Structure 1
Amino acid sequence: MSQAQINSYQAVQAEIMKRIQGREWPPGTLIPGEMELAEAFGCARATVNRALRELAETGILERKRRAGTRVALNPVRKAVLDIPITRHEIESRGAAYGYNLVERTRAGPTPTVQARLELPADADMLHVSCMHLADQRPFQFEDRWVHIPAAPGILEAPLDRLSANEWLVQEVPYSHGRILFSAANATPREAELLEVAEGSALFIVERTTWLACSPITFVRMSYRADYSMVTEL
């Protein structure tokens, strides 16, 4: 590969993968440092850095400060889950979307929300719950807490006709988050809103999102037992 061809981070990644797959760098191998690779490939160190960083994010490489970069012993591909706009998800299933605001209150966080978002008891929060409907039938009950300082404009958002989910995805950037999948029995409130028997099995998704060190939102989404989710590896 010529220097002209290797001036992109994608070309650097391709060359690194070639050496890994050719067993020049087998699993567990400490590969050369950024400066050495930049010199060998005839490109900028920043180009090498981006290539290594993205390969580490896929699980192919392991990077540790002061310890260098190694080929992972057990490479793990990571599933990528985007934050969907629920309206789009329903419409993609060929159903008509409906929305009902259930509650909108400015209040301090509950102990659970405090723990999930690492916030003090007097944090300024907006509690919003709503129903998402598919062909006029319950699809998802969304129970959300938003950290107001991290979401400028949320208090003026038209949440009577636009879900907090859709507003946040469009208006507030995030850097990382955490998703928890679980099963639970329907509480009396969930049973009424989702039109199922109390105690019925529900599929639960809980998600927290952050922008750097600033927590943005915690949401609990409840689905009927027939809900299914598809992602890609």
Structure 2
Amino acid sequence: MTNTTHQGIREAIRARIVAGEWQLGELIPGEVEFAEEFGCSRTTVNRALQALAEEGIVERKRKGGTRVRPLPSPQAQFRIPVIREQVESRGREYGHRIVLRELRDPPGEMRTRLQIGSGRKAAYMESLHLAGKHPFAFERRWVNLATVPGFAEADLSELSANEWLIRTVPFSRGEVGLTATSADARLAAMLEVEPGEALFTMERTTWFEDRAVTAITLYYARGYRLEFGI
């Protein structure tokens, strides 16, 4: 049963957004509908939706309703790829496996990159993305828990970190670097390639306003092709 305080309703709506019940930019039910569904006052729903708007998860317009926050316009040129969609667009079944997930002290360069103060830990993950039974990409990711506190306890058994963050946290800007990496023994084993093989590699850091969200390195398996509009 849903907690009918504004905090409980906020978290219930957030969970449904993360689960993909409404797409980015889609209009969600209004205060009257939610009040009837949760058995509470419109004022309580208003407080819940306003809190989500202040977090940047939804946007509200007078007489225009409330929508899941759409992708900001800069992403029209380089949209953060949803790896599941990349795999499925190739006609393959997507899967992912968490290889490692823990709280860590970031190394100095990463601590600076994510603006994490001394003595504070960050979430660290390694994940393998699959196309059918074959590796598609290997991911190393750091997440700033000061910006995304909910990530530490997020259920990523069905939804990858990639998709969870895209659905949950808006971003204002990002930096992307593309390079080739020579596969070491670990990368070779994960991606089923020969040691020393060149891997298409993407490094990406995103921010929400002035707060760093996540830094990620993606190593793609043989044959990957990046396509985007300019």
User: How high is the TM-score relative to the length of structure 1?
Assistant: 0.64
- 2:193 matched to 1:196? yes
Gaps of 5+ in 1: 1-56, 59-77
In the alignment, residue 159 of structure 2 is paired with which amino acid? L
1:127 aligns with 2:124: yes
Corresponding position: 1:175 with 2:172: yes
1:107: which partner in 2?
104
Q: Which residue, 203, 207, 211 being the options, matches 2:208?
A: 211
Q: Deviations over 1:38-91 (max 9, x none)?
A: xxxxxxxxxxxxxxxxxxx99xxxxxxxxxxxxxxxxxxx98111121111111
* 2:81 aligned with 1:84: yes
Aligned counterparts of 2:186 and 2:109: Cα–Cα separation in 1: 18
Deviation at 1:162? 2.1
Give 1:160's aligned amino acid. Answer: S
CA drift at 1:225: 3.7
How has the CA–CA distance of structure 1 residues 94 and 191 changed in structure 2, closer, same or farther, with 3 Å as cutoff?
same
SS of corresponding position for 2:213: strand
Equivalent residue number for residue 66 of structure 2: none
Aligned residues: 158
Question: CA–CA distance in 1 between the matches of 2:222 and 2:108?
Answer: 28
Find the structure with the greater CA-based Rg: 1
Name the counterpart of 2:62.
none
Instruction: Report the CA distance between 1:229 and its aligned residue.
Output: 0.6
1:37 corresponds to: none
> Gaps spanning 5+ residues in structure 2: where?
1-72
> Could you say what secondary structure the match of 1:119 adopts?
coil
Q: Percent identity?
A: 38
CA distance in 2, matches of 1:116, 1:186: 24
Whose RCO is larger (CA < 8 A, sep 6+)?
A: 2
Match of 1:221 among 218, 221, 224: 218
**In structure 1, C-alpha distance between the alignment counterparts of 2:157 and 2:118, rounded to whole Å:** 27
Q: CA deviation at 1:213?
A: 1.2
Give me the CA root mean square deviation.
Answer: 1.9
Contact 1:209/1:216 (<8 A) preserved: yes
CA distance in structure 2 between the aligned counterparts of 1:121 and 1:183, rounded to whole angstroms: 32
Q: Is the 8 A contact 1:79 1:231 kept in 2?
A: no
